Amino acid sequence: MAHHKEIFEDCEIEIKEDTNLLINGKEIDYEHDRDINKWSSRYLPYTRYDSLLEMARAIAQHTVEFSNAKE
Amino acid sequence: MAVRKDANTLSAAERAEFVAAIQALKAEGIYDQFVLRHANAIMSAIHRSPAFLPWHRRFIFDLELELQRVSGNPDLGIPYWNWPSGSANASMWNDNLLGGNGDAQGIVRTGPFRAGQWTVVNASGLPAGPLMRAFGQSGLPTLPTQGEINQVMTVTPYDVSPWNLSSNPSFRNQLEGWIGPNLHNRGHVWVGGSMLPMTSPNDPVFFMHHCMVDKIWHDWQIRFPNQRYLPETGGPFGQNLTDPMDSTPSGQIGPRPIDVLNSAALGIVYDGIITQPQPAIPHIIVGANPTQADIASPGETDLFQFEIPSFGPYTMYTTGSSDTFMTLLGPNDPNAQVASNDDGGENLNSQITRNLSAGIYYLRIRLFSARTTGNYAVGVRSDGNNPNPVTELIIDGASINAAISAANESDLYRLNITTEGTYTIQTNGTTDTFITLHGPNSQIPVIASNDDGGASFNARIRRQITAGEYFVRVRHFSPIGTGPYAIRVTRE
């Protein structure tokens, strides 16, 4: 099983065994629609993504829990 | 009474009042409570499910009450974001209302909600930086067009099982944006930044966006008064008509979908400028070559109409390589379903053969899979010049015994009037019948109708009639009702 870890937008994204997603050590719940192979999460409720990593990066970038935008 | 207006049409004074009211609620901490109410709701309870529309109607209604309270203006309405004319250069994004796009980092630095003046909160209610926007930069570069809105406005029913983002055909799911042209979701994604997560009410445009969503639902409800909220029962808890919705506190109005279905009862009025929910419905000529059409985007539904001049057997069909699904509606009512079919034709085409009374009928065509696109052709043909003869009602003759034996069935009778006079047409029996009288000399014009004018639930028409050929159509009052009846016509 693949294990992926990267730093994106100052967040640590970790995907264990292609399924378990953690951002900054926090486990992220998500849904995978196997019929159309799309991922979605309550963190970004208006979009489906083509891969788990793409969704993880979007969560890191856009949710106020993880993004680091400063005035 | 609050009138909700197109945000781009607000006067300078109206803009200033709205902005001041939002800022006052922010200062009171009330605004952030709305952000948390949305952010901490169960996602599947308020999105991707039937309660999506009533939940957000109640949500923006509650904010509107707070805006009216803090402004002292009971007529203050939330303006709506008219997507077709609301792109980046629209006046709603000027500094006297919402401010504009974010900078290179996505930070909003113009308008009343700019960095330093407005701080967003996370799902715990803690400050989490400035408002962020990135117009058209998050994967969806354009906003919905009026044509796309009109397309969604044709879709019925309100929703269907499995009551989620796979539901099809479903007005709710098309408006939400999981199938079809994508309306609501696209607005969030087009703004980007703070409009992307569950804390999206951090951006005041959220309320204008959902005001537009609510306006479309409002217009759809007016256009299809017989289309009910679904599910009434049997859906997931929190989604049924009388279930309390998640994260909806007690308030001036109740927390159930049924409590918010009637906009007028809530005092909600839209200015009615933008939505034109009456797109022309293409005509099919009976007996002509099939009309070419296509499902250009997944989940799209096409609507056609055709006129049946006289009672008889007809076949409605599609041709081509697409797996079509057909629904027949009518007569003279685009909401009354007569029959539906998936693979009754050759290959995977749909086909319905049925005796039809005279009138206007509608065909709703979609592809069996909501995730595919494809071409097809649709046609209607008459199955013979001498269809089953129309039974004649003899004046002062014996009653004719008949039955409505299937859902949506109607029976047609001919009435030959040779002498002008007063005639009574009535049914007898235990079935709740509904009759219409057509003519003279045509099966189409309705000159009288009746539901319960007779004994019990029987129908009765008493009318002065000139000489000519007339037709009487009998159906069950309920679209799904069946039962025997007797019919007779007498002259005074």
Mean pLDDT over B382-401 rounds to 82
Cβ(B479)–Cβ(B227) below 8 Å: no
Token couple for B455: 């004994």
pLDDT in tens, B310-339: 778 899 999 999 999 999 988 877 767 788
Q: Over pLDDT 90: what percentage of chain B?
A: 68
Q: Name the DSSP letter for residue B108.
A: B
Enclosing domain of residue A51: 4-62
The per-residue pLDDT for B41 is 94
What are the structure tokens assigned to B296, written together? 């250009």
Q: What is the CB neighbour count within 10 angstroms for residue A32?
A: 14
B192 vs A contacts (CB less than 8 Å): 62
> Would you place residue B188 in the very low, low, confident or very high pLDDT band (cuts 50, 70, 90)?
very high
The reply to whether domains B291-382 and B391-491 share a CATH topology is yes
Residue type at B162? P
Residue B325 is given by DSSP the state E
Separation CA B346–CA B486 (nearest Å) = 40
Determine contact: A36 vs chain B, CB below 8 A: yes
- Are residues B198 and A36, on separate chains, in Cβ contact within 8 Å? no
Confidence of residue B226 (pLDDT cuts 50, 70, 90): confident
DSSP sequence for B229-298: PS-SSSS-TTTSTTSPPTT----SS-SSGGGTS-TGGGT-EE---S----PPPPB--TTSPPEEEEE-ST
Interfacial residues of B (vs A; Cβ cutoff 8 Å)? 43, 47-48, 105-107, 115-116, 120-123, 128-130, 132, 138-139, 177, 184-185, 188-189, 192-194, 196-200, 202, 371
Closest approach of B256 to chain A, Cα-based (Å): 22
Q: Do B129 and A44 touch (CB under 8 A)?
A: no
Q: Please tell me if residue A27 touches chain B, with a CB cutoff of 8 Å.
A: no
- Identity of residue B142: T
Taking an 8 Å cut-off on Cβ atoms, the answer to whether A64 and B130 are in contact is no
The C-alpha atoms of residue B340 and residue B327 are separated, in whole angstroms, by: 4
Average pLDDT value for residue range B394-406: 89
Cβ within 8 Å, pair A65-B128: yes
Partner-chain residue, chosen from B115, B122, B193, that has the shortest CB–CB distance to A62: B193
Domain ranges of chain B: 3-270, 291-382, 391-491
For chain B, percent of residues with pLDDT exceeding 70 = 97
Sorting pLDDT into bands at 50, 70 and 90, what band is B111? very high
Averaged pLDDT for residues B178-186: 96
Whether A43 has its CB under 8 Å from any CB of chain B: the answer is yes
Residues of B in contact with A67 (CB under 8 A): 128-129, 132
- Report the C-alpha gap between B483 and B475 in whole angstroms: 10
Report chain B residues whose CB lies below 8 A from the CB of A35. Answer: 371
Task: Using the predicted structure, report yes or no on whether residue B92 has a pLDDT greater than 90.
Answer: yes
Residue B418, both tokens: 């040779």
DSSP B184: H
Per-residue pLDDT, averaged over B90-99, amounts to: 97
pLDDT band at B411 (very low <50, low <70, confident <90, very high): confident
State which H helix or E strand residue B370 sits in: none
Q: Which residue has the higher pLDDT, B174 or B391?
A: B174
CB pairs under 8 A between A and B: 67
Q: Are A43 and B139 in contact (CB < 8 Å)?
A: no
Q: Average pLDDT of chain B?
A: 91
A47·B139 Cβ contact <8 A: yes
Nearest CA in chain B to A41: B43
Helix (H) or strand (E) holding B425: strand B421-428
> Are the C-beta atoms of residues B326 and B393 closer than 8 Å to each other?
no
pLDDT tens digits, residue range B40-53? Answer: 999 889 999 999 99
Q: Phi, psi (5° rounding) for residue B433? A: -90, 160
Residue A71 pLDDT > 70: no
Instruction: Count the residues in chain B.
Output: 492
Residue B184 CB burial class (10 angstroms; 0-12, 13-18, ≥19): buried
Q: What residues pair up with B428 in beta bridges, in sequence order?
A: B486
Q: Quick one: pLDDT at residue B275?
A: 43
Interface contact A34, partner B, CB < 8 A: no
Contact A63 B197 (CB under 8 A): yes
Query: Taking chain B, what is the end-to-end CA distance rounded to the nearest angstrom?
Result: 54
Euclidean distance between CA atoms B350 and B319, whole angstroms: 8
Structure tokens at B359: 């009138």
Q: Which conformational region is residue B330 in: left (phi greater than 0), alpha (psi within -120 to 50 degrees), or beta?
A: left
> Tokens 């005796």 identify what position?
B355
Q: Using alpha carbons, select from B264, B491, B486 the residue that is nearest to residue B391.
A: B486
Which positions in chain B touch A28 (Cβ < 8 Å)?
none
Give Cβ neighbours of residue B270 (< 8 Å, ≥ 6 apart). B3, B4, B80, B215, B218, B219
Q: What whole-number distance in Å separates Cα of residue B28 and Cα of residue B460? A: 64
How many domains in chain A?
A: 1
Q: Which CATH architecture has domain B291-382?
A: Sandwich (2.60)
Does any domain span residue A27?
yes
CA–CA gap between residue B161 and residue B148 (Å, rounded):
24
Closest Cα of chain A to B129: distance in Å? 6
Is B128–A44 a contact, with Cβ atoms under 8 angstroms apart?
A: no
B40 → chain A, closest CA residue = A42
User: Does residue A69 form part of some domain?
Assistant: no
Does A9 contact B at CB distance below 8 Å?
Answer: no
Which residues from chain B sit within 8 angstroms of residue A36, using beta carbons?
371
What's the CATH number for B391-491? Answer: 2.60.120.380
Q: Which of A65-69, B170-174, B265-269, B301-305 has the lowest mean pLDDT?
A: A65-69
**Which range has the worst mean pLDDT, A46-50, B382-386, B454-458?**
B382-386
Binary contact (B106, A44; C-beta < 8 A)? no
Q: Which pLDDT score, from 0 to 100, does residue B235 have?
A: 94
Name which of A47, A63, A64 is nearest B189 (Cβ-Cβ): A47
What is the torsion angle, in degrees rounded to the nearest 10, for the CA atoms of residue A25, residue B120, residue B249 and residue B260? -110
Asked, for residue A32, whether it belongs to a domain, the answer is: yes
- Structure confidence at residue B237 (pLDDT): 95
Residues on chain A touching B371 (C-beta within 8 angstroms) = 35-36
Question: Burial level of B55, CB count in 10 A (0-12/13-18/19+)?
Answer: buried
Instruction: Name the DSSP letter for residue B484.
Output: E
Distance from CA of B114 to the nearest CA of A (A): 10
Can you list the positions of beta strands (E) in B124-168? 127-130
Asked if residue A68 is part of any domain, the answer here is: no
Evaluate whether B89 touches B98 at the Cβ level (below 8 Å): no
> Do residue A45 and residue B129 have CB atoms under 8 angstroms apart?
no
> Which CATH number belongs to the domain containing residue A22 in this structure?
3.30.1880.10
- Going by pLDDT thresholds of 50, 70 and 90, the confidence category of residue B385 is low
- The residue among B36, B43, B46 with the most chain A CBs within 10 A of its CB, best to mutate, is B43
Q: What is the mean pLDDT of residues B120-138?
A: 94
Query: Tokens representing B302?
Result: 């096409």
- pLDDT of B257 higher than 90: yes
CATH code for B3-270?
1.10.1280.10
Q: What is the pLDDT of residues B70-83, one digit of tens each?
A: 999 999 999 999 99
Query: Which member of B47, B105, B198 has the closest CB to residue A43?
Result: B198
CB contact under 8 A, A64 and B194: yes
Question: How many other C-beta atoms lie within 10 A of the C-beta of residue B216?
Answer: 25
**SS3 annotation, B38-76:** HHCCCHHHHCCCCCHHHHHHHHHHHHHHHHHHHHCCCCC
Token duo for residue B368:
């069996």
